[in-house]
Amino acid sequence: MSRVFNFSAGPAVLPEEVLRTAQAELLEYGTSGMSVMEMSHRSKDFEDILFTAEADLRKLMNIPENYRVLFLQGGGYSQFAMIPMNLMRNRAADYIVTGQWSKKAASEAKIFGTVNVIADSADKNYSYVPDLSDLKITPEADYVYICQNETVHGTTIKALPNTKGKTLVADISSMFLSEPLDVSKYGVIMGGVQKNVGPAGVAIVIIRDDLIRDDVLPFTPTMMKYKTHADNKSLFNTPPCWNIYICGLVFKWLIKLGGTEAMREINEAKAKILYDYLDGSKLFHGTVEKKDRSMMNVPFITGSKELDAEFCAAAEKAGLRNVKGHRSVGGMRASLYNAMPIEGVKALVEFMAEFERAH
Ligand SMILES: *Cc1c(COP(=O)(O)O)cnc(C)c1O
């Protein structure tokens, strides 16, 4: 077996320890006589897996009592529709567009109502986060939407917007559990798990009780109502059982490591290695304004498309996989999610330094 360093933006690297546990339990979970994949979602064993995963996530994120945790299908993208369907009572919302993912979310929300883009960084190809401290909030807006970490463009919103009393909704797909968050500042937190938490196929939604209501948009399907899933503890229909089980193992791994405080320190150390190198390099350059840099997704370029392509091909051969930038922006991108070991970042930087010397 030879596992590579996988810098993919998602689906992405998982902790090796978690994969080994899953391997050991693949044929028989506990004394159940069967795999988690074969279990009824109504069984006691699976209920334990689901409710333990939720309890562990609550502990990790310090989720207040008045928030529900939902494990849903449809990935992050379905949330772009579920959010307006469930929250847009005035058929209006404010969107802060700082990159590809918030742009997609805003565009999906237009199906359901008026979308006001109240801040936008398209003028500099989403390489920075605008000042969000005093925005023109629309009086009838039902919520203010952000993508807190833009996976493609590599920016993070470090100071949350002043929503002037409006509900804050955040997509945290690519920074889930990478650092502590104050859940009480948000109305809804959501994300697909395949970046930092587990295998593709689950979206986690953390939503304040008062936002779970019956008076959703009239055509909202049963499956798209948060209330359906909240009332049934994520067991309304068959949930993605195996994927939730793996998320649960990742939560246990994180708790053992010291939780999100410890994870933040590790992630800061990893990101610093790469950014310090980029700042000193004559060949490679980061593309994001320093103050807005993401710890998770680090885009960089040489300035020459040919050299970028040569670097990506050489890195691939050296076992540093998936450093090619997103097809919409080009260049390179290294995703340094929770499960990326610091050795991986060191190996990448050594390889970059070697490439720089040779060019
Ligand atoms: C990957 C990603 C999504 C989309 O997730 P899917 O599960 O593929 O629908 C949404 N938002 C962000 C920030 C992402 O990184």
- Hey, whose CA ends up nearest to atom 14 of ligand 1? 173
Instruction: Please say if the pLDDT value at position 354 is more than 80.
Output: yes
pTM of the predicted model as reported, rounded to 2 decimal places = 0.98
Q: What is the pLDDT of residue 204?
A: 98
**Domain residues for 337?**
259-358
Q: Side chain identity at 38, as an amino acid letter?
A: E
**Average pLDDT in the 35-50 region?**
97
Q: What is the tens place of the pLDDT at every residue in 45-101?
A: 999 999 999 999 999 999 999 999 999 999 999 999 999 999 999 999 999 999 999
Do 347 and 220 belong together in one domain?
no
Q: Do residues 264 and 242 share a domain?
A: no
- Position 105 in a domain: yes
Q: Where residue 202 falls among pLDDT bands split at 50, 70, 90?
A: very high
CATH number at residue 264: 3.90.1150.10
Same structural domain for residues 102 and 65? yes
Instruction: Point out the residues that are catalytic.
Output: 101, 171, 195
Report if residue 4 sits inside a domain.
no
Question: Hey, which bits of the chain come out as E strands?
Answer: 5-6, 67-72, 92-97, 114-120, 144-147, 149-150, 155-156, 168-171, 188-192, 203-208, 285-286, 297-301, 320-321, 332-335
Residues 108, 152: one domain?
yes
pLDDT band at 330 (very low <50, low <70, confident <90, very high): confident
What pLDDT is stored for residue 97 in this prediction?
A: 98
Q: Would residue 6 count as lying in a domain?
A: no
Q: Are residues 239 and 282 in the same domain?
A: no
Residue nearest ligand 1's atom 7 by CA: 75
Q: pLDDT at residue 236 above 80?
A: yes
Please check whether residue 38 lies inside any domain of the structure: yes
Domain presence at residue 275: yes
When pLDDT is averaged across residues 31-51 and rounded to a whole number, the result is 97
Q: How much of the chain exceeds pLDDT 90, in percent? A: 98
Is the pLDDT assigned to residue 1 strictly greater than 80? no
| CA-10 nearest atom, ligand 1 | 1
Q: What is the distance in A from the centroid of ligand 1 to the CA of 40?
A: 28
Mark whether 153 and 287 lie in a shared domain: no
Q: Quick check: 186 pLDDT over 80?
A: yes
Q: Give distance in angstroms: CA of 159 to centre of ligand 1.
A: 22
The CATH number of the domain holding residue 168 is 3.40.640.10
Confidence bin at 327 (pLDDT 50/70/90): confident
Predicted pLDDT of residue 203: 98
Q: How far is the CA of 35 from the centre of ligand 1 (A)?
A: 28
43 found inside a domain: yes
Torsion of CA 78, 79, 80, 86, to 10 degrees: 110
Tokens found for residue 326: 């997103």
Is residue 77 domain-shared with residue 220, that is, in the same domain?
yes
pLDDT digits (tens, 9 = 90+) for 259-287: 999 999 999 999 999 999 999 999 999 99
Ligand 1 centroid to Cα of residue 334, in Å, is 17
Q: Phi-psi bin for 240: left (phi > 0), alpha (psi -120 to 50), beta?
A: beta
- Secondary structure (DSSP) of 298-342: EEEE-S-HHHHHHHHHHHHHTTEE--BPPTTT-SEEEE--TTS-H
**pLDDT at residue 329 greater than cutoff 90:** no
The number of folded domains in the chain is: 2
194 lies in the same domain as 293: no
49 and 183 belong to one structural domain: yes
Q: Which of 256, 279, 313 is the last residue of a domain?
A: 256
Q: Determine the distance from the C-alpha atom of residue 27 to the mean position of all C-alpha atoms in its chain, rounded to a whole number.
A: 30
Domain annotation covers residue 1: no
The stretch 202-220 carries a mean pLDDT of 97
More confident residue, 213 or 330: 213
- As a whole number, mean pLDDT of residues 2-19 equals 96
Residues 251 and 283 reside in one and the same domain: no
> For ligand 1, what atom is nearest to the CA of residue 151?
15
How large is the average pLDDT for residues 344-357? Answer: 98
Are both 235 and 345 inside the same structural domain? no
Q: Does any domain span residue 133?
A: yes
Mean pLDDT, the chain, as a whole number?
Answer: 97
Do 206 and 278 lie in one domain? The reply is: no
Closest-CA residue, ligand 1 atom 4, reads: 76
Name every protein residue with a CB atom under 6 angstroms from any ligand 1 atom: 10, 75-77, 101, 147, 151, 171, 173-174, 192, 195
Q: Which of 90, 145, 146, 96 is nearest to 118 (CA)?
A: 96
